Amino acid sequence: MSKLVIVGTVAFDAIETPFGKTDKILGGAATFIGLAASQFNVDGAIISIVGGDFPKEYIQLLEDKGMNVEGLEIVEDGKTFFWSGKYHNDMNTRDTLITELNVLEHFNPVIPEAYKNTEVLMLGNLHPLVQQAVIDQIPTRPKLVVLDTMNFWMDNALDDLLKVIAKVDVVTINDEEARQLTGEYSLVMAANKIREMGPEYVVIKKGENGALLFHKEEVFFAPALPLKEVFDPTGAGDSFAGGFTGYLAKTRDYSYKNIKNAVIYGSVLASFCVEKFGTERLLNVSRKEIQQRLLQFKSLTQFDIKIN
């Protein structure tokens, strides 16, 4: 079984969508990535930090899904990272209301010895210096290093972010953030500029409009499944990252052809995430449902036209 190390926030989220509002619930980039990746039976480890206020049951949930949590530091007298966001009516855009870094402000990640030979490294949304510190602890470069980030870090730590982007194979980023990072409106131009920063692959996530994968001169598109109900898009990007890296860690094939399949798996996991608030749907999605949704994705995009 190949290893997957996941770095990112483990958090409390408070979310408001046109369909309702939550109190503090389980969230965080690494949480969504880990839950999505756990569908692939990989040997995954979560590297993060929480405060003493973080319920032990939440940690147990991650362990029950097969995630190693030795690298999840608990600061007993600290407070867990807290994020609050409010979605607009179109559910594709949101405002961040609160970001409280709390214990994240002084986080020195430690990769458990047994995971230092990881094959895939998923640098989820977190301070770029923490992402860098994780790369630095791995003696032999993993086969694939994927980085996700967001506007918060572009606003607050751009230089550090650019340095770490230069070291990774794949960047996953949403459309507005790709525009902010590069100053380019065209997503093709934005992806080209990000590739010039170092990564061979760029995935631009466009919410309910799907995701684009850029590699050399090639572009691949995965739609988002049109769903009857979208309840809460929080964590969709991270679920995408979990499906993407989980599938690649399982199949151990890092060719462009297989990376396209990983984009489809990422989109499938994201499509489940948005059906309920927070992590609720990811916690109970079954393998059979995933397979059925893959078939739906296939029939959504397959057509047979004769081109003369």
Q: In the set 99, 117, 180, 192, which binds ligand AMP (CB under 6 A)?
A: 99
DSSP state of 223: P
What sign does the dihedral 207-209-211-214 (CA atoms) show? negative
Region 120-139 residues binding ligand AMP, contact defined as CB under 6 A: 125-126
Residue 149 and residue 125 in contact, taking contact as beta carbons nearer than 8 Å: yes
Residue 85 and residue 65 in contact, taking contact as beta carbons nearer than 8 Å: no
* 237 touching ligand AMP, by CB under 6 A: yes
Q: How far apart are the C-alpha atoms of 290 and 14, rounded to whole Å?
A: 27
Region 128-187 residues binding ligand AMP, contact defined as CB under 6 A: 150, 152
* 9 touching ligand AMP, by CB under 6 A: yes
Q: Smallest gap, in angstroms, from Cβ of residue 131 to ligand AMP?
A: 11
Q: Smallest gap, in angstroms, from Cβ of residue 117 to ligand AMP?
A: 26
- Residue 21's φ and ψ, nearest 5 degrees, are -140, 140
* 267 touching ligand AMP, by CB under 6 A: no
* 234 touching ligand AMP, by CB under 6 A: yes
Nearer to ligand AMP, 9 or 245 (CB): 9
- Residue 222's φ and ψ, nearest 5 degrees, are -115, 125
Stretch that binds ligand AMP, among 24-32, 62-70, 193-201, 259-267 (CB under 6 A): 24-32
Nearer to ligand AMP, 34 or 199 (CB): 34
Listed in sequence order, the residues at least 6 apart from 91 whose beta carbon sits closer than 8 Å to its beta carbon are: 17, 18, 207, 208, 230, 233
> Which residues sit at the interface with ligand AMP, rule CB under 6 A?
9, 11, 13, 27-29, 83, 99, 125-126, 150, 152, 234-238
